[in-house]
C-alpha cells in the first residue's frame, strides 16, 4: 500500500520538494512552437509549480523565464516584446531570452548596473514543432531525449496538447494501466466482429479482459507486457514503456506502427498538460471516427477557447463540471460508459479521483504491477537524488532511449517475451530523416 507520506512525495512537484527537484533534471515539452510569434504576445504558463512566461524575440529565439521582473516583481506577461527582448512596462527594464538585462530605462547612465542583473531564465530548445524547457542547473544541460516520434519531421507527426484537472501521476498511472482497455473502452463489445479493421489487434484484449503481466527494469525506467492467449498455439503481447520522469509508450498499435509517446507534464500539483505525439500514418486515431455508438469511437474533441491565464490552455468543453456530458441512455444501449471517445473516457476516470487522489484508500490488484513499479521507482529516485544528487541514467545519458518502442505482437506459446521484443525491434528501422534529426 502507498502511504500518505509516499503519496505526498510522489505528487508534489514545486521547488524544494523531492520529486520537484528530481524532475528539474529532465527536459519537458511545454509549448507548441506555433503558440509563439516573432515579437508577438508573451505566453503565460506554469511548469513544475512555477509561474513562467515565454516569448519569441525579433530573431525568432525563444525565451522562458520567471514571470516576475527582477527589479520590483511586476509581471513580465504585461511586458513589451520588442527589438530583441522583453521590456517590463513598470520601469522599462529589458531582458533578452537568456535573462540578461539589456536596458534600465529609469536609471541614469552613470548609475546603470544592468551587467549585474539577470532575470531567472531557463534553457529552451525547439525541435519539430515543440518547445522544450529545462529547469535544472543551467550550467550543466543534457541533450534532448531521442524519443523516436519526437525525431520525425513536424509535418509527419500529430502533436496534441490536453489540459487535465488533476495531478500528473494519475494520468501517467492510467496510461500504464493497460488492463482497463477491455473494460473502460471496449466494455460494451460482446462479439469480436464488432471491432473494425483499425481495432482488430484488440480482439484478444476483448476476448480475455484479465491479462497477466511481466515486467523488467531498464536504464530509462521499465518495460512491461500484458499477455493473454491469442489462439491455441500463440500468445498476444502488449508491451509498454515507462520513461523517467513521466513519459509512456502505450501499446496502442501493432509494434511496427506504434511510433508514439505521451508525456504527462506537471504544471503544478493539481494540473497536468498531456502532450500526445503519434505518426500521422500510424493509426486511425479514435477521435476522428464519426459514429460515437461504435466501441471505442469518438466525436471530435471540443476545446474551450484558450485564455491568457497560466492554466487556461487546451481545456475541453466536456469536463467534470458538466459530467463530461455523459449520455445515460447511450450507456444503457451499449456504449458502456455513455461518454464518447477513449480520450474523454480516460479524462473522466482520472479527474474523478480528485485533484490528488488518496492512494491509502486503494486496494491494488495483480494487474496494477506497472502502477506499483512506477511508484517504487519514482520514490527511490527522488530519495536517492535528495541523498547524494544521483539521477536515473537516462537523465544524463539520453542515448539509452535509442530504439525504445512499445506495441503489440503475437508469439508462439512459451516464447521469451524480451527476446521477441528485441526481434521486433530488429524488424523495424529508424527512417533516415529521424536519424538525421537525432544528430
What is the distance between the alpha carbons of residues 190 and 204, in angstroms, rounded to a whole number? 12
pLDDT band at 230 (very low <50, low <70, confident <90, very high): confident
Planar angle of CA 222, 228, 234, nearest 5 degrees: 110
Instruction: Give φ, ψ of 429 to 5 degrees.
Output: -120, 145
Q: In angstroms, how far apart are the furthest CA atoms of the chain?
A: 86
Residue 17 lies in a domain: no
Residue-averaged pLDDT of the chain = 89
| Among 88, 103, 134, residue at a domain's last position | 134
pLDDT score recorded for residue 433? 45
| Among 134, 162, 192, residue at a domain's last position | 134
- Asked whether the predicted pLDDT for residue 277 surpasses 80, the reply is yes
pLDDT band at 284 (very low <50, low <70, confident <90, very high): very low
Residue 5 lies in a domain: no
**The domain that contains 83 carries what CATH number?**
2.102.10.10
Angle, nearest 10°, between helix axes 4-11 and 369-388?
80
% of the chain surpassing 90 pLDDT:
75
Same-domain check for residues 307 and 423: yes
Judging by beta carbons within 10 Å of its beta carbon (0-12, 13-18, 19+), is residue 264 exposed, middle or buried? Answer: buried
What is the distance between the alpha carbons of residues 76 and 42, in angstroms, rounded to a whole number? 8
% of the chain surpassing 70 pLDDT:
89
- Segment 93-115 mean pLDDT: 96
What is the distance between the alpha carbons of residues 370 and 215, in angstroms, rounded to a whole number? 7
pTM (predicted TM-score): 0.92
Domain hosting 339: range is: 148-438
Same-domain check for residues 165 and 87: no
- Asked whether the predicted pLDDT for residue 297 surpasses 80, the reply is no
- Asked whether the predicted pLDDT for residue 95 surpasses 90, the reply is yes
- Segment 415-432 mean pLDDT: 81
Same-domain check for residues 361 and 398: yes
- Segment 393-411 mean pLDDT: 93
pLDDT band at 286 (very low <50, low <70, confident <90, very high): very low
Q: Could you tell me which residue, 44 or 230, shows the higher pLDDT?
A: 44
What is the distance between the alpha carbons of residues 168 and 268, in angstroms, rounded to a whole number? 8
Same-domain check for residues 306 and 434: yes
Same-domain check for residues 62 and 207: no
Same-domain check for residues 126 and 155: no
Same-domain check for residues 92 and 38: yes
* Torsion of Cα atoms, 245 then 284 then 185 then 357, to 10°: 20
Same-domain check for residues 186 and 328: yes
- Asked whether the predicted pLDDT for residue 348 surpasses 70, the reply is yes
- Segment 222-233 mean pLDDT: 91
Residue 383, all three cell numbers: 530519495
Same-domain check for residues 321 and 416: yes
Question: Is 50 within 8 Å of 265 (Cβ atoms)?
Answer: no
Residue keyed to cell 521547488: 15
- Asked whether the predicted pLDDT for residue 88 surpasses 90, the reply is yes
Q: Could you tell me which residue, 192 or 360, shows the higher pLDDT?
A: 360
Q: Could you tell me which residue, 212 or 284, shows the higher pLDDT?
A: 212
- Asked whether the predicted pLDDT for residue 289 surpasses 80, the reply is no
| Cβ within 8 Å of residue 73, ≥6 positions away | none
**The domain that contains 296 carries what CATH number?**
3.90.380.10
Residue 8 lies in a domain: no
Residue 13 lies in a domain: no
Same-domain check for residues 130 and 152: no
Residue 10 lies in a domain: no
pLDDT score recorded for residue 437? 40
Question: Is 71 within 8 Å of 78 (Cβ atoms)?
Answer: no
pLDDT score recorded for residue 298? 44
Residue 63 lies in a domain: yes
- Segment 221-227 mean pLDDT: 95
Q: Give whole-number Cα distances, 349 to 58, 173, 327, in Å.
A: 44, 12, 15
pLDDT score recorded for residue 184? 79
What is the distance between the alpha carbons of residues 127 and 154, in angstroms, rounded to a whole number? 8
* Torsion of Cα atoms, 213 then 214 then 217 then 223, to 10°: -60
Q: Could you tell me which residue, 152 or 381, shows the higher pLDDT?
A: 381
Listed range (169-183, 302-316, 346-360) with the worst mean pLDDT: 169-183
Per-residue pLDDT tens digits for 11-58? 999 999 999 999 999 999 999 999 999 999 999 999 999 999 999 999
Q: Give whole-number Cα distances, 97 to 75, 92, 129, in Å.
A: 16, 16, 19
Per-residue pLDDT tens digits for 190-222? 655 555 444 555 677 676 778 889 999 999 999
Same-domain check for residues 72 and 164: no
Residue 389 lies in a domain: yes
pLDDT score recorded for residue 335? 84
pLDDT score recorded for residue 200? 52
- Asked whether the predicted pLDDT for residue 169 surpasses 90, the reply is yes
Listed range (142-146, 180-184, 263-267, 423-427) with the worst mean pLDDT: 180-184
Number of compact structural domains in the chain: 2
Residue 15 lies in a domain: no
pLDDT score recorded for residue 178? 81
Q: Could you tell me which residue, 79 or 287, shows the higher pLDDT?
A: 79
Same-domain check for residues 265 and 124: no
| Among 134, 159, 192, residue at a domain's last position | 134
pLDDT score recorded for residue 193? 54
Secondary structure in 3-state letters for the chain: CCCHHHHHHHHCCCCCCHHHHHHCCCEEEEEEHHHCCECCCCEEEEECCEEEEEEECCCCCEEEEECECCCCCCEHHHCEEECCEEECCCCCEEECCCCEEEEECCCCHHHCCHHHCECCEEEEEEECCEEEEECCCCCCCCCCCCCHHHHCCHHHEEEEEEEECCCHHHHHHHHHCHHHHHHHHCCCCCCHHHCCHHHHHHHHHHHCCCCEEEEEECCCEEEEEEEEECCCCEEEEEEEEEECCCEEECCCCEHHHCCEEEEEEECCCCCEEEEEEEECCCCCCHHHCCCCCCCCCCCCCCECCCCCCCCCCCCECCCHHHHHHCCHHHHHHHHCCCCCCHHHHHHHHHHCCCCCCCHHHCCCCHHHHHHHHHHHHHHHHHHHHHHHCCCCHHHHCHHHHCCCCCEEEEEECCCCHHHHHHHHHHCCCCCHHHHHHHC
Amino acid at each position: 500500500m502507498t502511504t500518505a507520506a509516499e503519496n505526498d512525495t510522489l505528487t508534489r512537484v514545486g521547488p524544494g520538494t523531492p520529486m520537484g527537484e528530481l524532475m528539474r533534471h529532465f527536459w519537458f515539452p511545454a509549448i507548441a512552437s506555433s503558440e509563439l510569434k516573432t515579437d508577438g504576445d508573451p505566453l503565460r504558463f506554469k511548469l513544475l509549480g512555477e509561474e513562467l512566461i515565454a516569448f519569441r524575440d525579433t530573431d525568432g529565439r525563444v525565451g522562458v523565464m520567471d514571470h516576475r521582473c527582477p527589479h520590483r516583481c511586476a509581471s513580465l506577461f504585461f511586458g513589451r516584446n520588442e527589438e530583441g527582448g522583453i521590456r517590463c512596462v513598470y520601469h522599462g527594464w529589458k531582458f533578452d531570452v537568456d535573462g540578461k538585462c539589456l536596458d534600465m530605462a529609469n536609471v541614469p547612465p552613470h548609475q546603470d548596473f544592468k551587467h549585474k542583473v539577470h532575470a531567472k531564465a531557463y534553457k529552451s530548445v525547439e525541435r519539430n514543432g515543440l518547445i522544450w524547457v529545462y529547469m535544472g542547473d543551467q550550467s550543466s544541460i543534457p541533450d534532448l531525449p531521442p524519443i523516436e516520434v519526437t525525431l520525425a519531421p513536424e509535418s509527419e507527426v500529430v502533436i496534441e496538447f490536453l489540459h487535465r484537472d488533476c495531478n500528473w501521476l494519475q494520468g501517467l498511472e492510467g496510461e500504464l494501466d493497460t488492463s482497463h482497455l477491455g473494460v473502460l473502452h471496449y466494455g460494451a463489445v460482446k462479439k469480436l466482429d464488432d471491432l473494425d479493421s483499425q481495432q482488430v489487434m484488440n480482439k484478444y484484449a476483448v476476448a480475455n479482459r484479465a491479462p497477466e503481466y511481466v515486467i523488467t527494469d531498464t536504464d530509462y525506467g521499465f518495460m512491461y507486457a500484458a499477455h493473454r492467449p491469442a489462439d491455441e498455439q500463440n500468445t498476444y503481447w502488449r508491451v509498454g514503456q515507462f520513461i523517467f520522469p513521466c513519459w509512456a509508450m502505450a501499446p496502442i498499435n501493432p509494434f511496427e506502427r506504434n511510433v508514439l509517446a505521451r508525456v504527462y507534464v506537471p504544471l503544478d500539483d493539481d494540473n497536468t498538460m498531456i502532450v500526445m505525439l503519434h505518426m500521422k500514418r500510424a493509426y486511425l486515431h479514435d477521435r476522428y471516427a464519426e459514429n460515437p455508438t461504435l466501441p471505442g469511437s469518438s466525436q471530435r474533441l471540443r476545446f474551450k477557447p484558450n485564455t491568457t491565464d497560466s492554466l487556461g490552455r487546451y481545456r475541453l468543453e466536456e469536463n467534470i463540471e458538466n459530467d463530461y456530458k455523459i449520455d445515460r441512455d447511450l450507456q444503457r444501449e451499449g456504449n458502456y460508459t455513455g461518454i464518447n471517445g477513449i480520450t474523454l473516457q480516460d479524462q473522466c476516470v482520472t479527474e474523478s479521483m480528485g485533484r490528488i487522489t488518496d492512494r491509502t484508500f486503494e486496494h491494488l490488484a495483480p494487474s496494477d504491477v506497472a502502477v506499483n513499479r512506477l511508484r517504487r521507482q519514482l520514490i527511490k529516485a527522488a530519495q536517492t537524488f535528495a541523498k547524494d544528487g544521483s539521477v536515473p541514467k537516462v537523465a544524463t545519458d539520453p542515448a539509452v532511449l535509442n530504439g525504445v518502442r512499445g506495441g503489440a505482437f503475437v508469439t508462439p506459446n512459451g516464447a521469451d517475451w524480451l527476446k521477441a521484443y528485441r526481434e521486433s525491434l530488429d524488424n523495424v528501422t529508424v527512417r533516415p530523416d529521424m536519424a538525421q534529426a537525432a544528430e
